[in-house]
Amino acid sequence: MSKDRELEDIYKVVPWPEDPWSEEGRSRYEEGLKRFKRLISHEWIGSLASKRNCLRILDVCGGTGIGGVALAKALMESGKNVELTITDLRKSALRTAVKFGKEIGIKVMVRQVDALKIHEMGEKHDVAILYGNSSPHFNPWRMVRLIASVSDSISEDGVFILDEVDRIYMFLVQGYRFVLPDEASKKRAVISIHSNYDPITGEIRRLEFDLVKRKRVELPLYFWGITELMSIAWLFFKDIDFLRDEEGRRGQCRGLILAYGPRRRINPNDFAYLPKALAGCEGFK
């Protein structure tokens, strides 16, 4: 099965508010717009904006475009011209992104490309974002490759923004649960069950069950902490900052990681091969 089709099947089961015309999806867009309006006052973004007539934005794993369109809109409302490119593996999500951007007044260019191969597009952008619940799809081995690829695709004074929540909080404070109710509504009843853990990849495999539609998918996840992502990004960027959200959910820390100025000392092609430790691990080629 192609990765495109696999992800399509996953998002048919996993409850995630990515429809920009649904109440939940529109709420995510409005929340993103508010967060990015606060972001553009940051000195790194301000410096970029003062030097560019047009800011080139790259939305990695952008899906239906909620994050990328919100950032582009916030910058446009501040008086900047923008060029927005959204990448994803799902064709249907990219079609939605184009339509949504047009409604908001943003011209959206889309590319169907693997996030680990962003550098192969051969383009340079001023700002790249990884927005929403994207990071758990990448275990540490893959995240290193993703950040290497993105850092190679950003201008010398560019910024990579990662939307992140400290999932370690779930383990230390809330406690990890083997069975979680993900959605319970009149239309859907979805639960997830812990099925396996791989200490080499760090992935926890979750089985997602839609009890109404009687569908099931298996989803490999990695639960990131904010400090882990910041320290990995620091290997590829000259400076790191964290813009914490003003409002947290039940004490949980959430915010935007900012990685400034790619070092360019590690080439994405340095990770074209796999280390011996991953030989035979499921999902690695």
Q: What is the rounded (10 degree) CA torsion for 81, 257, 29, 20?
A: 100
Which residue type does 93 have? A
The pTM of the whole model exceeds 0.85: yes
Domains in the chain: boundaries: 3-166+225-278, 170-219
- 96-127: pLDDT as tens digits: 999 999 999 999 999 999 999 999 999 999 99
- 220-230: pLDDT as tens digits: 889 898 999 99
**pLDDT, position 79:** 93
**pLDDT, position 208:** 83
Q: What percent of the chain has pLDDT over 90?
A: 64
**With contact defined as beta carbons under 8 Å apart, do 157 and 261 qualify?**
yes
**pLDDT, position 219:** 83
What whole-number distance in Å separates Cα of residue 71 and Cα of residue 126? Answer: 13
What whole-number distance in Å separates Cα of residue 126 and Cα of residue 161? Answer: 11
**With contact defined as beta carbons under 8 Å apart, do 257 and 240 qualify?**
yes
Q: What is the mean pLDDT of the chain?
A: 88
Those residues with Cβ within 8 angstroms of residue 198's Cβ, 6 or more apart along the chain or in another chain: 205, 281, 282
Backbone angles phi, psi at 154, to 5 degrees: -115, 145
- Fold of the 3-166+225-278 domain: Rossmann fold (3.40.50)
> Does the pLDDT of residue 250 top 90, yes or no?
no
- 265-277: pLDDT as tens digits: 999 999 988 899 9
The residue among 232 and 251 whose pLDDT is bigger is: 232
Q: Among the residues of 65-117, which ranges form H helices?
A: 66-77, 91-104
What whole-number distance in Å separates Cα of residue 114 and Cα of residue 89? Answer: 6
